[in-house]
Amino acid sequence: MDGKRQRPKWLEEFEDLANERLEGGSSCHQVHPIVENWYMKLMQQEPPTSRDSVLQAMSCLSTELITDMPDEIFETLFNEDVDYEDITFWIQELLMVGRAFQMALDRGEFDDL
């Protein structure tokens, strides 16, 4: 991974290819409205059904993410009187959205992009 951007280098060739093949430039600009519509629909419904063990694992992972958070971010968040539980719930929501996104990818909801 590139230390500055924290993303795998192998991903760049695929992004470059997508950007070259799509008219009008960046693939993100063309895909974003589709993903945005999916996200808005997701936020209006119940989260994906999950076994209790999955929910517990996501709860534990959110704690690990906070523990592993860079000091600068941790200090910024918690110096502003942000409640620890609010951050934990937000991270759990991010994990749930990521899980729902992966499920949508697996179902082929974005195959036409």
Helix (H, G, I), strand (E, B) or coil at 28: helix
- The string of pLDDT tens digits covering residues 71-107 is 888 888 877 677 888 888 889 999 999 999 999 999 9
Q: Tell me, what amino acid is at 6? A: Q
- The string of pLDDT tens digits covering residues 10-55 is 878 877 777 776 666 666 666 677 888 898 999 999 888 889 999 8
Model pTM score:
0.66
CB burial of residue 8 (10 Å; 0-12, 13-18, 19+): exposed
